[in-house]
Amino acid sequence: MSLIEESSSLPHHFPFSLPVIQNLGHISFHPNVTYIIGENGMGKSTLLEALAVALGFNPEGGSKNFSFSSYESHSDLHELVRVVRGGNRPRDGYFFRAETFYNVATHIEELDQGGFGRKIIDSYGGTSLHEQSHGEAFFAAFMERFAGNGLYILDEPEAALSPIRQLSMLARIDELVERGSQFIISTHAPLLMAYPDAKILQLDAGGMEEVQLEETQHYSVMKQFFEDRDRLLHHLFQK
């Protein structure tokens, strides 16, 4: 699957002024796992949102049949890009946004209160997502709702996950890849970036480039910190 910028003339306001959007061109995603990384404000979430909306997902997240809106804050970038897909069409799909997952959980409860038959929450393990911690609710979606043979677009899924849970999520990603799934993930977590043979696309002021895990600032900063913590802290705290 790939994303192609359709217009050569873009508006000048945010998010179209971001370097990654100005130089978007053509992005090819790995058939298994692609990571989109970069410093805050580089456009990771904006790019994932445009991809998800162009594919028919709700801007706030969920599966394609979720049509609620808490606040219209998404950009029009999806109107200026085109998604090119391969021959295999996924049977499942989900757009996970850490910052709006609470809204998704609320929408699920509202639908279940007014519906008949099998409840939607049953596909998340049966326990209200509002009656779990953020991390437990996130993990319920990954473990219970994601069924395989799907396209899963995840925006900062590590936000409420401990390091152990992040490793468990890596294992879950591998299970679902083995079932024919594709992941496109925006993350700041070096642990989560470690999936073997994944494509890592790094956004910066110059646009976008493909890098290896060891070349990322996320990896190098964490490595430097734990190898010589005292020196780094001394440098940070010097008066």
* pLDDT score at 17: 66
For residues 162-189, average pLDDT: 97
Q: Is the pLDDT of residue 41 over 90?
A: no
3 state SS for the chain: CEEEECCCCCCCCCCCCCHHHHCCCEEECCCCEEEEEECCCCCHHHHHHHHHHHCCCCCCCECCCCCCCCCCCCCCHHHHEEEECCCCCCCEEEEEEHHHHHHHHHHHHHHHHHCCCCCHHHHHCCCCHHHCCHHHHHHHHHHHHCCCCEEEEEECHHHHCCHHHHHHHHHHHHHHHHCCCEEEEECCCCCHHHCCCCEEEEEECCEEEEECHHHCHHHHHHHHHHHCHHHHHHHHHCC
* pLDDT score at 207: 83
For residues 29-42, average pLDDT: 93
Q: Is the pLDDT of residue 6 over 60?
A: no
Q: Is the pLDDT of residue 11 over 90?
A: no
* pLDDT score at 71: 62
* pLDDT score at 9: 60
* pLDDT score at 10: 61
Cβ neighbours of 136 (radius 10 Å): 15
Q: Which residue has the higher pLDDT, 163 or 72?
A: 163
Q: What does pLDDT average to over the chain? A: 88
Calculate Rg over the CA atoms of the chain. Answer: 19
* pLDDT score at 72: 62
* pLDDT score at 208: 87
* Confidence band of 66 (pLDDT split at 50, 70, 90): confident
The third-level CATH classification (topology) of the domain covering 2-212 is Rossmann fold (3.40.50)
Q: Is the pLDDT of residue 18 over 90?
A: no
* pLDDT score at 152: 98
Domain range summary for the chain, segments of one domain joined by +: 2-212
**Residue 102: partners with Cβ closer than 8 Å, 6 or more residues away:** 130
CA distance linking residue 179 with residue 182, whole number of Å: 9
- In tens, the pLDDT along 82-103 reads 787 777 789 999 999 999 999 9
- In tens, the pLDDT along 138-153 reads 999 999 999 999 999 9
* pLDDT score at 57: 93
* pLDDT score at 77: 73
Q: Is the pLDDT of residue 61 over 60?
A: yes
User: Among candidates 57, 90, 89, 91, which has minimal Cα distance to 74?
Assistant: 57
* pLDDT score at 8: 56
Q: Is the pLDDT of residue 130 over 70?
A: yes
